[in-house]
């Protein structure tokens, strides 16, 4: 017996098809020839043969680029009932499905998904994320429905005959009716005011493009235009954004900004609002990762060969943000998670609601986030008064500037009004919330960010080292259910910064602290992108990086492998976003202020919206000597994701996710700071990585 490997087998099959095709070309198949088989070569595109009531059509295969017999269509049978005029169709028994459609195929591309080859044409899903059709790679780098392409049989996934897919309308067909547009909806070309960096003065909307199709419309220099970034299709019947498809009870995302079909009902309005106002819908639930994932087969370095964990705990005494040991005054939820809510209203903007009625779901999400993000026990306690504290002055009497000043009139009046009504003993953080009746112009979010020179609020019942003032709104005149603050942005500010973590995204050269827009990755060099969109401390899309979790005490020392840059090591990293006490991070010290960190990224936890092609081993560097304090960076930003040299340069948006292509897949490696890091085994269990000097 001769056994062919996969490569030889593919070559053999291709050669066999070519031989068969040559035979067919020499001896054309006639109407009286033997019955053709699906997938066998044929000679002329459009040629058809009917046999036993089935019609076989010759079409060009997209994958093999040769002509093959494709769709088996049952020929029309005249009905014996005058009332029936339906033409039935059937497919081969091996492809029959009960609902007339193939199951959703997550491997197929979708319209509006990034593509790279402008000459390619594939079968994928159209803008409704349901219908199979031919897609072409557009000039803008996104898949588009192909023009004048054969239709795809939804029950077989194969091209239909040329005659069936003709764009011409038979005389007997039902006339196409003109669609009536809703006059209340905006249209392409309508006048609008461009958004400004400070305020979203004119949010994107759902309206009609020039063809009368409902789409997401952005504001351009010449009026409303279809949005071409982070855009999702619109249901033409309901006018609602079409969420990601559900496969086997789980949502499957094309990119991290797609609406979540399983979003909790209390967050549905905000999900739509963030898509239109912030260009993305952020994760608003938690997906528990499966820990029954087996284990790799690669031989591993024994933990006794690791360096002492203390060797990886950076501590730069000159840094404005101490890392290890953690100062006692810093907000550390793993030690004390008592959060005292101080709700505030102004004399001219009062409310009849309780703080829990307005913000209860935010408090619950914050508590859940703290528990879900930590592998060590955390017991968050939000203490919420049953009424708002009324400030003595009007809304216009107070102003909160860009710098925290505890002597500001707002804070002095607040402490006075609270008096002894709230006990601050044992409180780790004060969360100040403003009644949602407050005008949206109060849009600033500021708090006491962890530094080595903290400002404190001295209440009559106790001193508090950490506090956060939550914004009332981002847009609109008054706060509504559609424009409340974005929860993961609140967490980024309230928990991340108050706990001493820095922003980890890059900054535009010469623009101070101005952060880059998510869709403009190609405008920046790697040193300016920081961590891209990885980590909650970047752009709030994903979970905290494992380094940040370790700093906050969310990971035990036993979950970090401290490795030498001078010797070879092979370790198994399990998914960092799946809760468990297993090994999650590798840290390699490079200098007293710099480390290389590796973790295993999977689409679980708060990363559930990440497409699976972003999964793999994520490598990044942390240099605390280049962190100059909250949101202020010098060359290198302090945090940098490392991408394989084979990736596109300059960096591109992978499924609208900057540095989404940075993770190492099996066999891939990167060189950084004198060491080579390679992914030697990849699976649901995580990643096995090797570290070696070079």
pLDDT digit string, tens, across residues 532-554:
889 998 878 889 999 999 989 99
Three-state helix/strand/coil letters over 66-127: CEEEEEEEECCCCCCCCCCCCCCCCCCHHHCCCCCCCCCCCCCCECCCECCCCCCEEEEECC
Q: Model pTM?
A: 0.75
127-181 pLDDT, tens digit per residue, is 777 789 999 888 767 788 888 888 888 888 888 864 444 444 333 334 444 568 8
Other C-beta atoms closer than 10 Å to the C-beta of 94 total 7
Q: Indicate left, alpha or beta for 203 from its phi (over 0: left) and psi (-120 to 50: alpha).
A: beta
pLDDT of 50 strictly over 70: no
In this predicted structure, what is the pLDDT of residue 30? Answer: 37
Q: What is the mean pLDDT of residues 384-398?
A: 91
Mean pLDDT of 400-415: 77
Give the pLDDT band (50/70/90) at residue 675: very high
* pLDDT > 70? residue 349: yes
Cα(623)–Cα(594) distance, integer angstroms: 4
| Cα dihedral value 103, 107, 111, 116, nearest 10 | -170
In the predicted structure, residue 523 carries a pLDDT above the cut 90: no
CA gap 487, 321 in Å, rounded = 25
Residues 6+ apart with CB under 8 A from 276: 203, 204, 205, 206, 216
258 token code pair: 């797609």
% of the chain surpassing 90 pLDDT? 35
Q: Is the pLDDT of residue 355 over 70?
A: yes
635-666 pLDDT, tens digit each: 346 888 999 988 876 565 555 678 888 999 99
Distance CA 245, CA 395 (A): 45
């Amino acid at each position: 017996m001769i056994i062919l490997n996969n490569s030889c087998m593919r070559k053999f099959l291709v050669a066999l098809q070519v031989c068969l095709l040559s035979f067919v070309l020499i001896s054309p198949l006639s109407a009286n020839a033997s019955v053709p088989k699906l997938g066998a070569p044929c000679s002329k595109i459009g040629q058809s043969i009917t046999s036993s009531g089935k019609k076989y059509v010759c079409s060009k295969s997209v994958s093999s680029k040769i002509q093959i017999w494709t769709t088996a269509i049952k020929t029309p049978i005249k009905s014996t009932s005058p009332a029936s005029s339906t033409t039935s169709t059937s497919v081969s028994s091996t492809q029959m499905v009960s609902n007339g459609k193939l199951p959703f195929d997550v491997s197929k591309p979708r319209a509006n998904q990034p593509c790279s080859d402008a000459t390619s044409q594939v079968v994928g899903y159209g803008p409704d994320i349901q219908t199979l059709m031919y897609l072409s790679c557009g000039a803008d780098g996104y898949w588009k429905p192909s023009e004048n392409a054969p239709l795809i049989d939804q029950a077989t996934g194969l091209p239909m005959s040329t005659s069936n897919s003709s764009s011409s309308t038979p005389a007997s067909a039902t006339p196409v009716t003109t669609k009536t547009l809703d006059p209340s909806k905006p249209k392409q070309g309508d006048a609008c005011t461009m958004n400004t960096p400070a305020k979203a003065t004119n949010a994107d909307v759902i309206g009609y493009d020039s063809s009368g199709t409902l789409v997401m419309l952005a504001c351009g220099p010449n009026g409303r235009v279809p949005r071409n970034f982070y855009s999702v299709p619109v249901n033409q019947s309901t006018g609602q954004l079409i969420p990601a498809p559900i496969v086997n009870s789980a949502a499957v995302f094309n990119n991290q900004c797609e609406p979540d079909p399983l979003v909790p009902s209390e967050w549905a309005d905000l999900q739509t609002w963030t898509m239109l106002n912030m260009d993305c819908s952020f994760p608003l639930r938690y997906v528990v990762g499966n820990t029954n994932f087996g284990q790799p087969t690669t031989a591993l370095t024994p933990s006794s060969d690791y360096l002492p964990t203390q060797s990886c705990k950076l501590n730069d005494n000159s840094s404005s943000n101490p890392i290890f040991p953690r100062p006692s005054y810093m907000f550390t939820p793993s030690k004390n998670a008592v959060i005292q809510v101080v709700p505030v209203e102004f004399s001219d903007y009062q409310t009849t609601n309780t703080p829990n009625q307005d913000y209860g779901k935010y408090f619950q999400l914050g508590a859940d986030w703290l528990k879900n993000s930590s592998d060590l026990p955390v017991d968050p306690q939000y203490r919420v008064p049953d009424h708002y504290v009324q400030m003595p002055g009007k809304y216009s009497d107070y102003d909160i500037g860009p710098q925290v000043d505890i002597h500001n009139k707002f804070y002095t009046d607040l402490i006075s009004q609270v008096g002894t009504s709230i006990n601050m003993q044992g409180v780790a953080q004060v969360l100040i919330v403003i009644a949602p009746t407050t005008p949206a112009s109060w849009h600033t979010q500021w708090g006491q960010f962890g530094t080595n020179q903290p400002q404190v609020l001295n209440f009559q019942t106790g001193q508090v080292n950490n506090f956060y003032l939550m914004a009332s709104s981002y847009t609109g005149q008054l706060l509504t259910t559609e424009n409340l603050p974005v929860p993961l942005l609140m967490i980024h500010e309230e928990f991340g910064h108050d706990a001493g973590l820095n922003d980890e995204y890059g900054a535009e050269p010469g623009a101070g602290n101005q952060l880059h827009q998510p869709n403009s990755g190609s405008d920046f060099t790697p040193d300016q992108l920081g961590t891209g969109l990885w980590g909650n401390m970047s752009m709030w899309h994903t979970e905290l990086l494992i380094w940040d979790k370790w700093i906050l005490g969310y990971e035990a020392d036993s979950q970090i492998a401290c490795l030498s840059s001078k010797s070879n090591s092979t370790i198994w990293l399990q998914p960092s976003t799946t809760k468990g006490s297993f090994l999650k991070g590798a840290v390699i010290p490079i200098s007293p202020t710099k480390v290389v960190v590796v973790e295993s990224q999977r689409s679980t936890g708060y990363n559930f919206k990440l497409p699976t092609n972003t999964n793999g081993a994520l490598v990044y560097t942390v240099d605390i000597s280049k962190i100059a304090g909250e949101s202020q960076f010098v060359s290198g930003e302090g945090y940098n994701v490392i991408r394989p040299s084979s990736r596109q340069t300059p960096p591109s948006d992978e499924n609208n996710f900057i540095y989404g292509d940075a993770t190492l897949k099996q066999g891939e490696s990167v060189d950084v700071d004198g060491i080579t890091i390679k992914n030697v085994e990849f699976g649901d269990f995580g990643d096995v990585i090797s570290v070696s000097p070079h």
